[in-house]
Amino acid sequence: MRLTSFLLTVCLSSVAVSHALSLFGSDQQVLDDELAVPGDNPLFYCQSTDENILLIDYVDLTPNPPEAGKTLTIKAHGNFTESVEEGAYMLLQVKYGLITLIKQQADLCEQMSNVDEDCPLSGEKTITKDVDLPATVPPGKYTVTADVYTKDDQQIICLTATVHFGGK
Ligand SMILES: *[C@@H]1O[C@H](CO)[C@@H](O)[C@H](O)[C@H]1NC(C)=O
């Protein structure tokens, strides 16, 4: 589940990390520029960030867009403006065209351990991660969304990206 691990890491660490990044291009001009996540990346916020607990300073991908078969380096910096406790969760969805490939809930704190962070999460975090991308990915249009909440259903962050993979 490379797409899943992508979403998890991105949201959690305000950062980003995953094999599915290989799918992402910069192909979402239809969305407002003000919803673009700062940094060298293909991510967008799902909606206004006014109520978000996690504020992202930047997410940088090298190379951007990621390339299949190459190592992707992800560096991100953000600020948890409130302490995020155990019980926080993420709703992950991956669509391939109109077809829902993945729709599931994941434990935020559990996933954060993959980037060497533990709950409670608070204050500034900088995360760097190298990911070896698979050499091949099925071609088509992918839409990935990760919606993250505290255990009391307060919005932490929501990120989305759409990519056409394998086309010209
Ligand atoms: C991070 O958020 C806290 C709480 O809102 C704030 O006090 C602090 O100044 C922020 N840090 C940065 C670098 O913005």
Cα 122 to ligand 1 centroid, rounded to whole Å: 10
- Give which of 67, 31, 58 is closest to 47, Cα–Cα: 31
Report CA(87)–ligand 1 centroid distance (Å): 23
Average pLDDT of the chain?
Answer: 81
Go through the domains of the chain in sequence order and give each one's CATH number: 2-21+37-165 (2.70.220.10)
- Tell me: pLDDT of 124 over 60: yes
% pLDDT > 70, the chain: 79
Residue with tokens 């394998």, as numbered in its chain: 166
Question: Which residue's CA is the nearest one to ligand 1's atom 5?
Answer: 81
Q: Kindly report the CA angle at 95 between 101 and 70, in degrees rounded to 5? A: 90
Cβ proximity of 101 and 120 under 8 Å: no
Query: Has residue 113 got a pLDDT over 70?
Result: yes
Pocket of ligand 1 (CB under 6 A): 79, 81, 124
- Predicted confidence at residue 131, as pLDDT, reads 83
Q: pTM, whole model, 2 decimals? A: 0.75
Q: In what order do the strands lie in the sheet with 54-62?
A: 54-62, 71-84, 121-132
Per-residue pLDDT tens digits for 59-82? 998 988 777 788 989 898 999 999
Paired strand residues for 142: 96, 163
CA distances from 97 to 43, 56, 110, 144, 165 (A): 18, 28, 30, 11, 11
* 39 Cα to the center of ligand 1, angstroms: 19
* Token pair listed for 50: 């006014």
The residue to mutate among 51, 53, 56, 81, having the most atoms of ligand 1 within 8 angstroms of its beta carbon, is: 81
Q: Does the pLDDT at position 129 exceed 90?
A: no
